[in-house]
Structure 1
């Protein structure tokens, strides 16, 4: 059986409150980029929030926005709630148990959607579901933000990412690094245009799509 949470480490302070080491390494770089992407107001839906550390940190960095974290895993939803309670976050809503492959999402209309480090740790069908639901929820011009390691034609893949790819495949053959060209094609089929690709630390990239 695949390990559904390969990014987790030991619990920091309680059985519910989990920790993902990558969060501490990438949160500032992501927040700096989001300052130029997110709207001035509204609800920001995060898909596959994992431990909830990103949602809480972004809530602290953008107090004028409301963040709606979500995850299909009930243990992750417990962790999200625990982090939100620990940090006394009034602008981070209780987590929703949303699955990218589900038929529909029972969620209020967001002003933007964030999805960090999900695409490679899930079947391709999850990416299909993500874009389909984002297309039905977002208004024209609203952003869909993706972050993680990707493959690109004409760009040499870092050895660390190749090692990560092998590790992912050893857990679940349906997982793995996706090609940016495939992501762009999926986006186009759902009415999104890629606005930009931004190089990020540790051989990751940010993909910013806008609903056309």
Structure 2
């Protein structure tokens, strides 16, 4: 029996706007690590249009099966089987990567996991390679919309470690890990796409 194909309306809504940005970032052949693949909708959509890259999905231990329905149904030659990746682990189960992408993870992870994500990527990306981080962020302690403020309250009511991240805190963390902000793109639905380059 084929795996089920879980569906995220948010992924469906944002996949094309994200693709229109990352197609100008992931321009060279290579392997792109996706952290927090989720349903697999992004992986399939991006890889089908970016045939020059190999897309490496990953998710936290125990969650990789969530994406199998989309990945196996698409059967794209440039999408690898999803890896179990605990970002807080000292050793990541990857070899060479040429870029990274993650969507809607920073506000779900603990802050220590966000730190670990940047630290781990810094170890695996060479100078000049990009990390694209998509999601909602606040600026100077102010949310960019009332819907983001409500979403932040909803997240914090679910678990105290969750919440929309403050851009100043995130950029300080990124710089300490060895990244600099190249671009901060405004995206639909009050989200952003941060393009960070390894120093």
Which consecutive aligned stretches of 4+ in structure 1 deviate over 3 angstroms post-superposition? none
Q: Is the 8 A contact 1:39 1:112 kept in 2?
A: no
Pick from 28, 47, 50: which aligns with 1:59? 47
Q: Secondary structure at the match of 2:183?
A: strand
Q: List gaps (5 residues or longer) in structure 1.
A: 1-13
Aligned counterpart, 2:30: 42
Aligned counterpart, 1:32: 20
Deviates more, 1:15-24 or 1:197-206: 15-24
Q: List gaps (5 residues or longer) in structure 2.
A: none
| Alignment partner of 1:109 is 2:105 | no
**Alignment deviations for residues 172-191 of structure 1 (CA, whole Å, 9 cap, x no partner):** 10000001111110111011
Aligned counterpart, 1:192: 179
Q: Do the aligned partners of residues 155 and 36 (structure 1) sit closer, same or farther apart at CA in structure 2, a change above 3 Å counting?
A: farther
Deviation, structure 1 residue 154: 7.7
Query: Counterparts of 1:155 and 1:172 in 2: how far apart (Å)?
Result: 21
Q: Secondary structure at the match of 1:157?
A: coil
Q: Is the 8 A contact 2:102 2:134 kept in 1?
A: yes
Aligned counterpart, 1:99: 86
Q: Secondary structure at the match of 1:106?
A: coil
Count of residues paired in the alignment? 199
Deviation, structure 1 residue 39: 3.3
Pick from 124, 146, 162: which aligns with 1:175? 162
Q: Do the aligned partners of residues 176 and 154 (structure 1) sit closer, same or farther apart at CA in structure 2, a change above 3 Å counting?
A: closer
Aligned counterpart, 1:149: 136
Using structure 2 for the length normalisation, give the TM-score: 0.95
Q: Is the 8 A contact 1:111 1:142 kept in 2?
A: yes
Q: Is the 8 A contact 1:197 1:206 kept in 2?
A: yes
Q: Secondary structure at the match of 2:59?
A: coil
Q: Which has the higher strand share?
A: 2
Q: Do the aligned partners of residues 135 and 69 (structure 1) sit closer, same or farther apart at CA in structure 2, a change above 3 Å counting?
A: same
Query: Counterparts of 2:141 and 2:104 in 1: how far apart (Å)?
Result: 23
Deviation, structure 1 residue 103: 2.0
